[in-house]
Chain A
Amino acid sequence: MKISGTHEIQASRERVYAALIDPQILQRCIPGCESLEETSEHVYIATMKAGIGPVKGTFKGNVHLNDMQPPEHYRMTVEGKGGPGFVKGTGNFNLAETDSSTVVHYEGDMQVGGVIASVGQRMIEAAAKMLAAQFFKALESEIKS
């Protein structure tokens, strides 16, 4: 499944880039993130309790940031699994600067399997977009404060 989106944040590109790769900020912004531990540089183990309305599941997985080109680009590789299924994917994040804000564009390819994929297929894309919107909203208020 391909997923992409754009979010605008009222802050400089350097500021947004730094926040996007700061494990403490990420932990506070990723919806349902219970822990995010850095095991080596830019490699993390994360536990996430993701919930869409009443459907909840705990996921555990690895997050790897690479191809770092501050402040305009990085790539994220995610591999996780939990009760309802597994998720695997790669996403490219590109940051563009405007007069007073930064536009983050992400574009990724995700594989979702297990129960969540077989019964929730028709909702996965909407669910992914909803979680992404929550993440960027939290990130924006984090950067502002």
Chain B
Amino acid sequence: MIPAQFDYARANTLDEALNLLAQNEDAKILAGGHSLIPAMKLRLMQPPLLIDIGRIKDLSYIDEADGQIRIGAMTTHYQIESSDLLKRMCPLLPECASHIGDMQVRNKGTIGGSLAHSDPAADWPAAALALNAELVAVSKDGERTIKADDFFVDLLTTALNPGEILREIRINKNGSSQAYVKMPHPASGFAIVGVAANLIMNGSNECTSARIGITGVAAKAYRATGVENAMAGSQLNEAAIATAAKHVSDNTDINGDLFASADYRRHLAAVYTRRAIQTAASRV
């Protein structure tokens, strides 16, 4: 498939990209190109201009400052998967990265591109929600920080305004127990259900608080607050976890498709939530 005609501009700096974006309302930002380019080849998207920010070196980094982990938006899935710093400080991120697509996708696709695209079955949104990530967006008017809880608005729709580019992902270090588990679609690798669990535990096997991010089952990734509330202050035994996990689809409109009906997805979501919490709890 061949995309419709478009112009291409490679930005060398973020300022250059912001200027180009301000001049071209319908332009699209190109990161790793693993969501945008396939959609363009099918002509589902026909942007007149692509602004390539994938080669801006300053946007690709993983470091630590002021008790926070900071990840540049153009950091590839593979860089995250293989980061020793993250394996030590925030193992949920490398674990989540290892589940994305295949090796080729992980070498090109970026965390910022995936979050900004907000595919309802992408893996990163679940992790960002569970980790209470802060997303830093820049525009010509300056910079603002958006909580992951406010970032995912609807299907393929985020809180980013026209003219804004996602620059950085920030996560507070808190010594929590984490896990990401997923049932991938056998062909696409996208999540039929993906669950990110982030538990704060005390010494006596009790869960002080929990954040659970779910992807793949609804129009956007969401926090399973029903599960989180049931977990908070409870002992982490098998029965308690299974009971809490049943709340995963509370107040949520679950989607079905040809591969998995809404009822099947609801069932899977509870099973994978239970597994995610059990796995996280075993990693104290």
For window 113-128 of chain A, which residues contact chain B by CB distance below 8 Å?
115-116, 119-127
Q: Is the interface of A mostly helix, strand, loop or mixed?
A: helix
Considering the chains assembled together, what is the distance between the CA atoms of A54 and B162 in angstroms? Answer: 11
Complex interface: chain B residues within 8 A of A119 (CB):
38, 42, 44
Instruction: Say whether B65 faces chain A, with CB atoms less than 8 Å apart.
Output: no
Instruction: Say whether B103 faces chain A, with CB atoms less than 8 Å apart.
Output: no
Contact in complex: B44, A53 (CB < 8 Å) = no
Contact with A along B99-137 (1 / 0, CB 8 A): 000000000000000000110110000000000000000
Instruction: Say whether A84 faces chain B, with CB atoms less than 8 Å apart.
Output: yes
Contact in complex: B44, A84 (CB < 8 Å) = yes
Q: Taking CB as reference atom, which chain A residue is nearest B192?
A: A122
Instruction: Say whether B258 faces chain A, with CB atoms less than 8 Å apart.
Output: yes
Contact in complex: A55, B45 (CB < 8 Å) = yes
Contact in complex: A126, B44 (CB < 8 Å) = no
With A52-B155, A52-B156, A53-B118: A124-B42 Cβ-Cβ less than 8 Å:
no
Contact in complex: A126, B155 (CB < 8 Å) = yes
* Smallest CB separation, A121 vs chain B (Å): 5
Q: Is the interface of B mostly helix, strand, loop or mixed?
A: loop
Contact in complex: B259, A122 (CB < 8 Å) = yes
Complex interface: chain A residues within 8 A of B257 (CB):
121-122, 124-125
Contact with B along A93-137 (1 / 0, CB 8 A): 000000000000000000000011001111111110110000000
Contact in complex: B42, A121 (CB < 8 Å) = no
Instruction: Say whether B173 faces chain A, with CB atoms less than 8 Å apart.
Output: no
Considering the chains assembled together, what is the distance between the CA atoms of A56 and B26 in angstroms? Answer: 12
With A130-B154, A130-B155: A115-B44 Cβ-Cβ less than 8 Å:
yes
Using CB atoms and an 8 Å cutoff, list the residues of chain A in contact with chain B.
52-57, 83-84, 115-116, 119-127, 129-130
Q: List 16 A-B contacts (CB under 8 A).
A: A52-B155, A53-B156, A53-B157, A55-B39, A56-B45, A83-B43, A84-B42, A116-B44, A119-B42, A120-B44, A122-B255, A125-B257, A126-B120, A126-B218, A129-B219, A130-B154
Using CB atoms and an 8 Å cutoff, list the residues of chain B in contact with chain A.
28, 36, 38-39, 42-47, 117-118, 120-121, 154-157, 185, 190, 218-219, 253, 255-259
